[in-house]
Structure 1
Amino acid sequence: MKTLLKLSAAAAALCVAAAVPAQSNAPIKVGLMLPYTGTYAALGTAIENGFKLYVQEQGGKLAGREIQYFKVDDESEPSKGTDNANKLIKRDQVDVLVGTVHSGVALAMARAAKESNTLLIVPNAGADAITGPMCAPNIVRSSFSNWQPGYATGVLMAQRGHKRAMTITWNYAAGIETVKGFTEAFEKGGGKVVKDLTLPFPNVEFQALLTEIAAQKPDAVFAFFAGGGAVKFVKDYVAAGLNKTIPLYGSGFLTDGTLEAQGPAAQGLLTTLHYADSLDIPRNNAFRKSYALTYKANADVYAVQGYDAAQILAAGLNAAKGDLSKRDVITAAMRKVTVDSPRGKFTISAAGNPVLDMYVREAKGLNNEYRSVAVKALADPARGCKM
């Protein structure tokens, strides 16, 4: 009888243990799906660095739990997006996905996250649909929608008195949607877009399009390029002599992370974005110092967005005291957080997109220096979002 009682007690203890999540103290698995090769490689590295810096500042843990990283190079290739996301979701069984830069790849990630109900934090890609028709409780963005920086630049250019503009970008989601945001604001401000120019991603043969700009003679040009493509475009624009008669403006990605490579060609360019290197607030000053000491490099907007992705995840995990089974608590807290960001404090909309101050910046030396606020607390319209 005593033996039976002991066995019964042991069985009961096992049942109690089984009722408690077995992995409650296990590391939280974070899947980083970012570009580590190609045009956007430097951007992916900066995002990862920013994310890990915040975790490091918390002692290497979020909500008391260690963080374990899994990495996949997304190759900036949309056709591989679903398979690459599923390597992290199904093979590595990550708790949260973080990615990516390319909007086409991010759309595939968002679909995979929705289907598997995996937490997804988007630290760059601005595809409007992610916080529009594809919005979901488990998807939050730490960056922007493509519409936001385009719209802000349209406001700026209209305020500066330009009436006729041309646009130029790659023919993919980020470029097309950014241009739409620009056109909406620019034409609302009394301007007119006379022609939109595009070329396939990641093509950088700009000469024929620059010749067309020269022939059309608009008041100004709005450009959306990033990474290596932005470097070549800005240099080619100056080499063609267009900067002498037709001012060039851009979404801030034109000059973010690219100024050293662009050299003198970029100096004086005005762009709009939700971050400026010289933003003189304590949070930004401390962040830039910490980033420089840790990585021996200057922080940029991509590093900020990675840093804030970790902050948003931490808010959700802290609310649930690290218990990943409390998904409703986590996702609700991720939307209620006010992020104390190097870009300035911001909130998250119901659709999961940041509500952002958009800054006017001027390229000076290796910095995009703050000049003014183009639009205060700009919220993406989240067209098509139903939750």
Structure 2
Amino acid sequence: MNLFDVYPLMPVTIKSGLGSKLWDENGAEYLDLYGGHAVISIGHSHPHFIHRIKEQLDQLAFYSNSVQIPIQKDLSKKLGELSGYGDYNLFLCNSGAEANENAIKMASFATGKSGIISFEKGFHGRTSAAVAATDNPKIVAPCNQREDFVILPWEDLEAVEAELEKGNTAGIIIEAIQGVGGINIASDEFLTGLAGLAKKYGAKLILDEVQAGFGRTGRFFAHQWTAGLKPDLISMAKGMGNGFPIGGILISPEFEASYGLLGTTFGGNHLACAASLAVLEVLESEDLMNKAEETGNWFMKELKEIDFLKETRGRGLMIGIDFHEEIGKLRSEILTKHHIFTGSSSKKETLRLLPALNIQRNDLNSFKAALVATFSQQTY
């Protein structure tokens, strides 16, 4: 039986990892500046992460949500403390797409409406409603096409209000920083404007923090760079589990809780909660949010000294680098010749860097040197 093709595969088989380093089947070393789509938040094989999972595995790997699971409460408490959303309710699931799917569902339950507003270049997942809100026609099957889901221009509050005036919008979903779209940062004015319009027209504001959350930008969530912004629903995943599948939604206390609205078999299982609790504990004990901001600010200044780059932007360790040409060949050569993993985006000229939050500056300098060398050799 063959595997169904999902991504174009890099010509590497990774066998082990530690921190921001990876080793292939032949023992060759690589630098990971992509973290498997922003998933590796505290580094590969962090000892506390391994300890937490092994400790839980020795006790119990799984039982369903039909029984009390104390480690879920431990996770909820620590998450509330570090995120600043201790008064919100937590729903645990398995992925970012599932988190967005259920956030959209909650907005629809709460309002009795079916419409969703999302934005150009946004990416929210590959499940039914999540993909309908995603600006990528290639992944939208006929069964995902929904007339009441609209994709509007980025930073266009007039277009948003015009849609809201039609009276059928349940929710507005947005990434404070678009990841797949190319590291596009929503302005404070846009985000606060959306919050005001959502309140005015009775819609729910959903912040998709799947890629930008869990400290990546130097704040726990990227939307927290916008003072006073309090979304109704916050979706999260990726860095939440450092490689162990877990996702979740933070739900405003204004929503009425009712059995049966949401449900999951595997969501919030014992091992997933142990993994996520380990991430939070390391974020706190190693001060990784502040380190992500400081390291990111330093490195973006370093990158801006390179004259052949078109633009560098981002927050913390969520960095987008624009080139004057498509980056496919560049990424390939940086991987094969310099052994450095980087990321692409839906904008073919934009390279994404999404390293672990404890990445060392000398490793980032190695990437900068590789980038300059690739250009100086005129191979790109």
TM range (shorter): 0.3 to 0.5
Greater RCO (Cα-Cα under 8 Å, separation 6 or more):
2
TM-score (structure 1 length as normaliser): 0.34
Q: Between Structure 1 and Structure 2, which shows a larger proportion of helix residues?
A: 1
Larger radius of gyration: 1
Q: Between Structure 1 and Structure 2, which shows a larger proportion of strand residues?
A: 1
